[in-house]
Amino acid sequence: EALAKPDGGRLICLTGQERFLIDRAVDLIKEAMLQPATRDFNYDQLQAKESGVARIVACARTLPMMAPRRLVLVRDVGALSASDLAGLVDYVQAPAPETCLVLLAEDADLRTKFYLTFQKHGLLLKLTPLPEKQLPGFVESEAKRMKIGLEPGAANAIADEIGSDLAQLVDALERLSCYVAVGAKVRVADVEEVVATTRQHSVF
């Protein structure tokens, strides 16, 4: 929704330990911001520590070529010191309207001046591992996205077998879709047959 606004998507920070959700969000941002024909001209991917603040800002202030927007993705922002991040505050307060600057920071102290300022001017999402009770719902939503039918109980069975690794949950759905007949729904018995148990169960 933020990306759909005329002035939206200028500043995005994705933080947290859930790599699958962060990668999914990055893919959606790329799809929204970049045009296939001009993607190579308008997409920069930087490592925060190696590039430094000056280069990050310079890339963000570069005008797009033959497209309305450009995307600058900066990984490992958590490696920057507080003084480094302070050098980004001026840009955050007045971002280039043609650029979507995306910062990835697995570990971020959201109480610091930089992140408090960022939240005033941009979109900050904390993507953490899903609680166990939400895993069946995630399986059901992914199955719907992949056009895979699930019989009652199948989503819970998949979540019980795999656990909280979201990438493995999606992989299990892909394997099950190849196993069942075309148009058939995945049954609990199919899960038991196809999905190898990857979670350690206590003998107690």
Q: Which residues of 22-51 are buried (b: 16+ CB within 10 A; e: fewer)?
A: beebbeebeeebbeeebeeebbbebebeeb
Q: What is the pLDDT of residues 143-197, one digit of tens each?
A: 999 999 999 999 999 999 999 999 999 999 999 999 999 889 999 999 999 886 5
Q: What is the pLDDT of residues 67-126, one digit of tens each?
A: 999 999 999 999 999 899 999 999 999 999 999 999 999 888 888 899 999 999 999 999
User: What's the confidence (pLDDT) of residue 26?
Assistant: 94
User: What's the confidence (pLDDT) of residue 202?
Assistant: 41
Instruction: Answer yes or no: is pLDDT of 201 > 90.
Output: no
List of E strands, 41-180: 43-47, 70-75, 99-105, 123-126
